[in-house]
Amino acid sequence: MNLSYPITYIKGISVQRAALLYTELGIKTCNDLLNFFPFRYIDKTQFYAIKDLQPNSSEVQIVGKITHVKSVAQKRGSRLVATFQDATGTMELVWFKGQKWIKDSLKVNEPYVVYGKLNHYNGSFSIPHPEMELVTEYKKKLQTKMQPVYPSTEKLTNSGVSNKLMRNYIQNLLQQVYDSIQESLSQEIIDDFKLMKKRDALLNVHFPQSQENLAKAQNRLKFEELFFIQLQLLRKKLINKAQIKGFVFENVGEVFNQFYTEKLPFELTNAQKRVVKEIRNDVSTGAQMNRLLQGDVGSGKTIVALLTMLLAIDNGFQATIMAPTEILANQHYTAVSELLSGMNIKVDILTGSVKTKKRREIHTSLEDGSLHILVGTHALLEDKVKFKNLGVAIIDEQHRFGVAQRAKLWTKNTLPPHILVMTATPIPRTLAMSVYGDLDISVIDELPPGRKEVKTVHRFDSNRLSVFKFMKDEIAKGRQIYIVYPLIEESEAMDYKDLMDGYESVSREFPSPKYQISIVHGKMKPADKDIEMQRFVNGETQIMVATTVIEVGVNVPNASVMIIESAERFGLSQLHQLRGRVGRGADQSYCILLSSYKLSEEAKTRLQTMVETTDGFKIAEVDLKLRGPGNLMGTQQSGVLNLKIADVVKDSKILVAARNTAISILQEDSTLSQEKNLPIKQAYTKMTKSSKIWSNIS
């Protein structure tokens, strides 16, 4: 039988049942069923004697005979009771449902294998609704001591698709196809990593003969899954570099050099210099650059982005920065304009709130080439926005944009522009390999000189008065303070009440005219929000009380204290982003996490992690362990990590080994045409035909 055949070829699967398995579990072909793995196993390695049973309600397996069957009346209806005995004693088997059918099917004085959960009552043992099989049948089967348990749904259970039935389907299939299962890795890889053969791995993952065999089978299948994902990502990268031509930026010219020598506000860190060098190498090759730039809040990504744009301008091209929100776009526009003031470079901004007349001016100056740098939001993707010659596109906080939106930037040109994707959300190494494996990755892993690490403390609500005193001391030194309240979308009313209650208590403690307070929340009109933000930025107010709308995109170097209320209600990456709002000036900055005493273990871990480290990558690793990869990537990319058996967190060592193996194979044989790599090529070709998920990740 061919594994690409539909599952209706398997004995017992009707067209209706096949449709149900497809809608509920995504199982369409025999190959899908073979790669539908158990999520746990019932260990049936031991048979018990009745005399050795202990009253502990565990699941047990016994061999014996039924000597007697009777129906026993009870308050409601009746129950069926069978006396079951082995050489050491007797016990009862009990059924409350389906009694007539069960009574007819039971064979007295025939040896059975019985399995089920043990009950102990009045000194005697019983098993209600046991799994039963005649010893003669038991011996005929693909025997396993450890029984697989498969994922299921309520609909499947209600339709009679039990775990036992799934087990039978997979057993039937394996018996038919075992000898024809093709190897998908080269003998060299199998030998190097001492991997189990593919057919044995599939047999042992479904029907393991021992714990050791199961571990070997899982290891083989995890390696294979991660290897082919990496192979696809790395091949895509190679093909892009070979086939997708990019503009060549040959010159480091007048504009770049003038800015570097006269305008640069501080000496670049070694990390920034390294990244600029990587970008310069990319844009000089003639292939399109696709690079991810990771760096913590405040690490100096904007300067690197600006230097990249100046390289484009020196070579006669335009540049653009796309940001996910107007606040962030305005911040980039202000920063870039200030850094380039006095230079002969035209910078403009395009967002949803730009008026029609101004839009027309921007469209004209873009098309005639007189506008060098355009900063904007999604408004940049409109069809009317046409560049004369876009050389580089910089996408900030790219996980907030969909794939289709980013692809639109490509259509603005004859050749695609160089792409630099920036994120302040540190991505753990294992996740970056899986989700951004087709991009080159740069990391800015040091802060600019003069920046002091933010001191973080955790305080309980009962310490509020001492926190207020600390705030007054900081304000007396001329500093400003954020107080942030959580935002839970399901309950806007509750959030608003929390915020207003908080605002009132802060107002009582910090009365005007001595103190001025700004307030910002989601129910305000954008214009009012901007006014309040601006008052704080200008230093007219000392305290900003806000919900998480300030998470991205407020830069106030004079703000030195971040107080996070109900900190236990925030995720780690949010806490880290919020803390990044302070520590932007030369003064010592502080982050105070306020919480109630009622904390879950996970909340304790989050708060403790924040107190112990300011390293975004360490924080991201903890976050990955707590939340799992799907949640960390958000909805747009969670599908990417829909793995069948591997786990990028727990199996990070296997992932690294799989990626390194894929790299060395492609370096030696990029087309996979060497004879030893033919099994890989055949498996890879089949997979890429049937799986579209990895083709458009980044």
* Structural domains of the chain ordered from first start: 45-143 (2.40.50.140), 266-283+300-423 (3.40.50.300), 455-613 (3.40.50.300)
User: Which portions of the chain are predicted below pLDDT 50?
Assistant: 489-490, 551-552, 631-640, 692-698
pLDDT value for 65: 97
pLDDT of residue 54: 83
At 143 the pLDDT is 61
Cβ(461)–Cβ(595) below 8 Å: yes
How many contiguous H segments (helices) and E segments (strands) does the chain have?
26, 22
Residue type, 527: A
Q: What is the CA radius of gyration of the chain?
A: 32
Supply the pLDDT for residue 490.
Answer: 46
| Coil, strand or helix at 427 | coil
DSSP 143-197: --SEEEE----HHHHHTT--HHHHHHHHHHHHHHHGGGPPP-S-HHHHHHTTPPP
Q: 497: which DSSP letter?
A: H
Residue 693: the pLDDT is 42
DSSP 3-state assignment of 64? strand
Burial of 586 (0-12, 13-18, 19+ CB in 10 A): exposed
C-alpha 103/C-alpha 377 separation (Å) is 72
Residue 404 CB-half CA count within 13 A: 2
Instruction: Assign 528 to helix, strand or coil.
Output: helix
CB within 8 Å of 362: residues ≥ 6 apart: 348, 350, 354, 371, 374
In 3D, which of 561, 572, 633, 574 has the Cα closest to residue 603?
572
Structure tokens at 666: 């492609």
Q: How far apart are CA 259 and CA 561, in angstroms?
A: 33
Instruction: Tell me if the bond preceding 55 is cis, omega within 30° of 0.
Output: no
| Crossing angle for the helix pair 198-206 and 163-177, to the nearest 10 degrees | 160
The predicted pLDDT at position 689 comes to: 76
H-run or E-run covering 543: strand 543-546
Q: Are 161 and 17 in contact (CB under 8 A)?
A: yes
Q: Retrieve residue 204's tokens.
A: 């042992």
Structure tokens at 108: 């007295």
